Amino acid sequence: MRLDYFIANSANQSRKEARRTIMAGRVTIDGTVCKKAATPVSGHETIQFDARDMILPGERYLMLNKPADLVSATTDDDNATVMELLPPELRRNLRIAGRLDRDTTGLLLLTTDGQWSHRVTSPNALCTKTYRVTVADPITDAMVQALSEGVTLKRESKPTAAAHLERLSAKEVRLTITEGRYHQVKRMLAAVGNHVVALHREQIGEVSLDPALAPGEFRALTEAEIGSFR
């Protein structure tokens, strides 16, 4: 879409007023002033008007308690997806802000707001993700120390960022990370000689999975939950 269309709809202006706003230098895209009304925007950018974040009206923000055996995708030719848990009227233009593996359960965030989704998933945001991890073998002190300091994953040279661990039982930990590498939690435990047998995401940033939601259920995010990522 064009920038003037975005500003007109998000700031309740006419297209003519939006063009004047943009040409006056009052609009920034990812922190840079943009004075061209025809500039194309995708919704992944951070767009501000007079230093205020702009979003299109009618955006939807949902949390879902993902069950196992569903793919975190909008469409999939071979597998059932999490979108099938939602009524058709809610699915339009939804994107998943931080996917989970097919066998991983727990908190999934979905939204139509591209800017908001980008803030949840961007590596630069350092958004924390907390998981309850069940492993095959007992967690040793050496494993806890290694994970807390950062480990080198297979076929990678840069160690993971330091993780926070809370030991819940001999074979269960609560693990908080700030990165989002491919299969990161499973690979981190493999790097210290263990194996993940169950993985459940409890929290993203300040948003925790609602304990009232059974697997497969969803609800709209509160204004406070939405605002916590801005």
Q: Are 48 and 197 in contact (CB under 8 A)?
A: no
4, 30, 50, 101: which one is catalytic?
Answer: 101
Here the tokens at position 134 are: 């069940």
Q: Give the residue from 82, 79, 117, 113 showing the smallest Cα distance to 98.
A: 117
The reply to whether 101 belongs to the active site is yes
The length of the chain in residues reads 230
- Cα separation, 31 vs 28, in Å, equals 5
Neighbour-count burial of 96, counting CB atoms closer than 10 A to its CB (0-12 exposed, 13-18 middle, 19+ buried): buried
Which residues carry out catalysis?
A: 101
